[in-house]
């Protein structure tokens, strides 16, 4: 079968939708794990779920939090599967309800016309155009992200410290064995093994 340009475009669009759907599924499952399995990640030493996500390189925690925030807005949640995660997050950051509704209508229309949601750049550009200003990250969100990054770093450093402590303990035990072995030898006796 000979491939046509339309077939290639169709294939790429299908993959783009699959990626967007997978990203939403990742965030939804992560949220489920965050709430239903909190005891597991807390027992592992994580003070926050964001720290857990960062330590295991699961996703961008700021984007994850923005997505969850957007899903709390009923009109965004209702169309999120059609408009994609980037547009849903951008819509969630538009404070003015009227402008947010206008943005959501444009995002749905785009999907109906082209069959794919906006890319991250398109979603931000449209939000800026419709809302009048680009969606901004809150300072609290930045601080929480930095705190979680530092927590993940501390957890990693603690792991390294524990490994070093175990190594030192092993070396001490080996040193004590050698001291006992040497103490058992008579003065003047060679410490070298005999052949």
Determine the pLDDT at residue 143.
59
Domain assignments of the chain as residue spans, ordered by start: 11-180
Could you write out the three-class secondary structure of the chain?
A: CCCCHHHHHHHHHHHHHHHHHHHHHHHHHHHHHHHHCHHHHHHCCCCCHHHHHHHCCCCCHHHHHHHHHHHCCHHHHHHHHHHHHHHHHHHHCCCCHHHHHHHHHHHHHHHHHHCCCCCHHHHHHHHHHHHCCCCCCCHHHHHHHHHHHHHHHHHHHHHHHHHHHHHHHHHHHHHHHHHHHHHCCCCCCCCCCCC
- Residue ranges in the chain modelled with pLDDT below 50: 134-135, 138, 140
Could you give the percent of the chain with pLDDT greater than 70? 86
For the entire predicted model, the pTM comes to 0.62
């Amino acid at each position: 079968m000979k491939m046509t340009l339309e077939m290639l475009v169709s294939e790429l669009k299908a993959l783009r939708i699959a990626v967007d759907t997978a990203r939403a599924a990742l965030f939804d499952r992560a949220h489920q794990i965050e709430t239903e399995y909190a005891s597991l990640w807390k027992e592992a030493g994580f003070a926050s779920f964001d720290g857990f996500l960062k330590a295991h390189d699961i996703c961008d925690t700021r984007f994850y939090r923005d997505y969850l925030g957007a899903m709390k807005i009923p009109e965004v949640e209702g169309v999120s599967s059609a408009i994609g995660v980037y547009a849903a997050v951008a819509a969630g950051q538009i404070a003015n309800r009227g402008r947010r509704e206008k943005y959501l209508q444009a995002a749905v229309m785009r999907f109906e016309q082209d069959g794919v949601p906006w890319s991250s750049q398109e979603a931000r550009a449209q939000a800026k155009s419709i809302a009048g200003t680009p969606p901004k990250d809150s300072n609290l969100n930045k601080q929480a992200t930095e705190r979680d990054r530092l927590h993940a770093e501390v957890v990693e450093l603690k792991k390294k410290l524990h490994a070093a402590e175990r190594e030192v303990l092993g070396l001490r035990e080996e040193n004590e064995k050698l001291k006992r072995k040497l103490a058992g030898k008579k003065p003047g006796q060679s410490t070298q093994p005999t052949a």
